[in-house]
Structures are given as structure tokens and as C-alpha cells.
Structure 1
Amino acid sequence: MNWIAALPMYNVSPALAADWRALLVDVLRQVEPSTEIVEPDDLHAFWRRPDLLISQTCGYPFVLGLHEHVQLIATPQFDAPGCDGARYSSVLVTRADAPFDSLPACRGARVACNATDSNSGYNALRHAVAPHAVEGRFFGATLETGSHLGSLRALAEDRADIAAIDCVTMAFARDAFPELTSRVRELGLTRSSPGLPLIASKRVRPEQIDTLRALDDALAALPERATRLRLKGFAHLPPEAYDSIRQMENEARVANYARLA
């Protein structure tokens, strides 16, 4: 089979995208050097392709059905505020000059989210808001931006008042776009959950999976690149570890807060 691969989730800047691609090339050299590295348009369709050798997904789509189509390879461990081993949180942020000093104080404010299928930008935020909602509502307006950077820009441009940003993305944004991140400030963190998993098609052979799991070798080969990618290593979690993401969704639904509103 001709395999394909991509690491699309943390390409926050062109420099980071180049580093992620270079890391992927080094990993593939040990497994299937002829693998084609692609830039997928439709991530949900891409993650379900039978010729997928390795990619990275969000934990929310993973628990909502993707896990039936893929194998879990590993979970990155990042050096970023809000991370703890293989777990991460979302950073609750508002504009630097906004009057809000806590999440409860944001009642009636405008919320921005990157996508409704995002754990960090939607599911974790919904879970954090649920205890404060009244009859299923908390915010005055909701804006879907398409990306965490888009949500940060919406805050900076006064098109939204609050957003939840993946803490790893936030750390990368602070590195790459200090002018943008200087225009927002943090209000707190959401509950943590397992980080964004690396996955492979069910058709990838066990021996290939074992080789792919030797990811730390690629990190050790170029420590400077690992530092730029804020990668400390990789954990091997069971798929059941991601059930906590579904639990966050269920707790919000029990609190009558099924959607961000």
C-alpha cells in the first residue's frame, strides 16, 4: 500500500509547520520512507483514510467515533503552561482591556470558538461554563472562527470577548506572535484532558506501529528542534484514557448546557 501522513494540528506558524514536517520525515524514514506527506483539506475524511500511516487528531473527534477507524499510536508530552505529562488544558482568555476578571463575570459576553468539534476550544469551554449557565444559556453571542489563531484575532479586534485556547497553541502563539498575544490576558484554565493523539489506520501492521512508537529517537536526534516544538516526549495511553473527554461533554449535558450559547 502507498501510505500518506500529515501532522496538521499545531502548525501555528510557517516555521513550526516546517519543523513538524521535518520531524515527520525523520520518523517516516524509519518506517516507510516512500510515504507521501500531504496537506489535507477535510481532516475528518483524511483521518478515516485506510492508507493513513500517521497523523494527529483532536481528542473530541477521537471519542465521538474516530476511534473505531484508527489505532492510537502515542500522545505527545509538551513543555507548555497548562500541560501535565500527556494532559493539557485550555487557557481562558479575554482582551487585555476587557472588564472581565473571571469566567462567571463573562455572562452575556461574546464568545469565540475555533470549531464545534474541538475539545480545547468548544468541549472544554462548554464544560467550564455549564455550572454558570441558566436555562442552557450564558453568552450573549457566539462566533465560530475556524482556528485558535482566528479566535485570538477576534478577541484582539474586539469581535469577541472570551475564548478557550489550547494551552499548547497558546504557548506557540506567544512564541511566534507576541504582538497578538500581548492584546489578550488569561482568566484561568479549563479541566485537563489527554492531549491530541497520534493515530494510524487500522490497516497499519503491528510492527509498523511499534516502529512509529519509537518517536523519542527522532526528538533526541535534534534537541534544538524538540525545544522549538516544545516536545518533551511521548506517552502511550490506552484508548480508554480519552473517555474523560466524553465525560466532560456528558457533565455539561446533565447541567442542561448541551451547546455553547
Structure 2
Amino acid sequence: MTSLPVLGAAMPLDALETHRDWIIDAQRDLELQDFITADVLNGDWMPLVERARGLLDGYSGRLGIHGPFWGLSLANPDADVRALVTRRMEQGLAVCEALGATQMVIHSPYTTWMYNNLDNAKNGRRDVVDLVHATLDPVIARAESIGVTMVLENIEDKDPDARCELARSFDSAAVKVSIDTGHAHYAHGTTMAPPVDYYVHRAGDLLEHIHLQDADGYADRHWAIGKGTVNWPAVFSALAQLTSKPRLIMELRDKSGIRPSADYLRGLGLAE
């Protein structure tokens, strides 16, 4: 029996039609991508939930969703806009409850501009934390009550620690950390951030989710694993030191690359 970590994947329901057996046979972690947009969340999304339930008959793995993020900053200083972001988070949690999903990916508020300017204001760092609390505090109790963990994914984050400190500030099991390998690799290659494995080390056991994608250090490629320049042995060596057992979710632009990516990592002896 192998002791290698088992890979999961992110996909919409249309792709799940194709990859269903691969997911269910090994009860792999799954992240559904159908509940991101305002059009879906403001409409009748229950038919999508029913379709997911049908496709996932026999599934007992860890199920999550990617939460809404387009145009939604968790640290928006405009109270009216912030109320909309809170509403979107509530809608995402409602989807999780209907699906039985236990994790929702949300986006870090930290930008490259912030990295260079937060200490250029008297209370810059505290202000960001306070704004995110104003956005998320109203939904934390619901997340806790339905057993959903919201994981903060790095986007432009140059500083691996700021997002972790933000997650800790909630003092709640419902707020943890995610890493996107391609985003971290972009930040490393373009903004002189640390390499991807450092993000893993810095997150430690706060890390409960990871988006695995390959990239070139210049853009957010979401290439199949092995097509870019991410140092995968270093990443998986860092992951092996954790006890939090983060969900290893391949998030690829071309879903046909899911199985070849798994084969690539298996060939390196890093994952199944």
C-alpha cells in the first residue's frame, strides 16, 4: 500500500461527467467550480446541486467549492460594496450546506501594491484586517455551524505571512489557509517573492487546501503539471512535513490534463 498523498481536482459539473470514475474510485478530494458567478448565485442553483448529488452517488471523499471572487475584495473600504461581498459569502455557504461541502475557497485581499505600501500608512496593516473582519465576521458563525472551512487563497500575495496572520486573527476553525502554486510561482518570478515551497513552510498546519497548477513564473497559467517550472519535489517535500492533510486539488485550465498531471506526479514518486 502506498503512503503517497492522493490527488484531487477542481472542475465544473460538465467535466465531472468525464472524470467521475477517477474521482470516486479513490474517493479523491473534489472542488466544484460551478458556483462562482453572481448570475448563478442570484439565480436558482438548486438544479446544479441536484445534478451534483446524482453524479456523486457513492462519493464519500472531501467535497468543496470555489467560492465567489470576481470583483469581490474582502477588504473593500466601501461599506455598501462590502455588504455585497458579505452577501456573496453567505450565498456560497448556502451552496455548501445544500451540497454537503465542507470547504469553500475564498481569495486573499492582499495585493502587490499593499506589500509596498501597508507600512506607508500609520495603521495600514490593521486596517486591512479590520475590513476583512467587517466582511467575514457576519458569516463566520454560519460557517462554523454547518462545518465549512473558508480557506484564504493567495492571489497577488508577495508576503506569505500576511494572509496567515489574517486567518489566525479570526481564532476560528472555520478560517484557514490555501496556497495556489501557480500564483505563488508568479509572485516568485515576477515580484521577487519567496519560492512556492516557502509558502508551504510559512503556512504550516494552517494550510488545509492547495491548488496545484504549473506555471512559468510570469502569468497565472494553470498548465498541466510538468508543463511549467514549479519545483514539485520541493513543494511535496514541504507538504510532507504537515499534519493538517491539506486537500491537494489540481486546478487546471484544460481539464483533459488532470489524468496526465496525476501520472506525471506519480512518475516522480510524489503523489497518487
TM-score by length of 2: 0.28
More strand by percentage: 1
More helix by percentage: 2
TM-score by length of 1: 0.28
